[in-house]
Homo-oligomer: A and B are copies of this chain.
Amino acid sequence: MMLKLFYAPHTCSLASHVALEDAGAAYTTVRVDFSVNEQRSPEYLDINPKGRVPALVTDRGILTESPAMLAFIAQSFPQARLAPLDDPFAFAQVQAFNLCLCAKLHVAHAHRMRGHRWADDPVAIAEMQHKVPETVGASYDLIEREMLKGPWVMGASYTICDPYLFTFAQWLEADGVDRPLIPKVIEHRSRMSERSSVRKAIAEELHA
């Protein structure tokens, strides 16, 4: 199966990029240039009508939404053991963690740069930005206290939760989160940054 990942640097597409590396998948990448709003071009909207990254072209069609793509990568490359595929409860825990990132942490983060999605008035958008350190911080607090088992998110086994958390952790300083409050998240970020899959994906995204 040949796969093609549409990505943009500094977005959540990094998680799927790393997971494809972790899986040993055969894939190519296409950069979507957000600086010229390429994600809203007719050509890209044909690929992903939502006008966002990531999108993954497969020989069966196109997939979107990071947690769904991450589960797809894990299921398509079972030998890479990126999720507990034969255990519905453990798989649901993996998915619940990724959903918390997607629907809580990412949404809170998006109110910093993309408040225009939810309000038009610049004053309201500024108000949203003002609360981002608190809302993103609350998500990280929950992850630190309740979720991140260590050394990997789910404990001894590396899973598709790890590249997804690592991706958001790239932005935590910019989101105004205090590093000393979340030592396990910071340690996880360091551990991830040493993996060859992470180094390869980041190098390609930043130097392509």
Partner-B contacts on A (CB < 8 A): 49-50, 58, 60-61, 63-65, 67-69, 71-72, 75-76, 88-89, 91-93, 95-96, 99-100, 102-104, 106-108, 111, 117-121, 123-124, 127-128, 130-131, 135, 142, 145-146
Contacts and interface: CB of A to CB of B under 8 A. Distances in A.
A53 to B, nearest CB: 14
Given A119-B127, A120-B131, A72 B100 contact: no
B96 A63 contact: yes
Given A61-B93, A117-B135, 18 more contacts: A49-B145, A50-B104, A50-B142, A63-B89, A63-B92, A64-B96, A65-B95, A65-B99, A71-B92, A72-B88, A72-B95, A75-B92, A102-B102, A102-B103, A103-B106, A108-B118, A111-B118, A118-B128
Majority-rule SS of A interface residues: helix
B75 A91 contact: yes
Contact of A67 (B63, B91, B93, B95): B95
A146 B51 CA distance: 13
Contacts of A120: 127, 130-131
A180 to B, nearest CB: 21
A25 to B, nearest CB: 12
Contact of A93 (B63, B100, B104, B111): B63
Contacts of A92: 63, 68-69, 71-72, 75
Contacts of A107: 103, 107
A131 B121 CA distance: 10
Contacts of A127: 119-121, 123-124
Contacts of A93: 61, 63, 68
A65 B124 contact: no
24 contacts: A49-B145, A50-B104, A50-B142, A58-B89, A63-B92, A64-B96, A64-B100, A65-B95, A68-B96, A68-B99, A69-B92, A71-B92, A75-B88, A99-B99, A102-B103, A118-B131, A118-B135, A119-B124, A119-B128, A119-B130, A121-B123, A121-B127, A123-B123, A124-B124
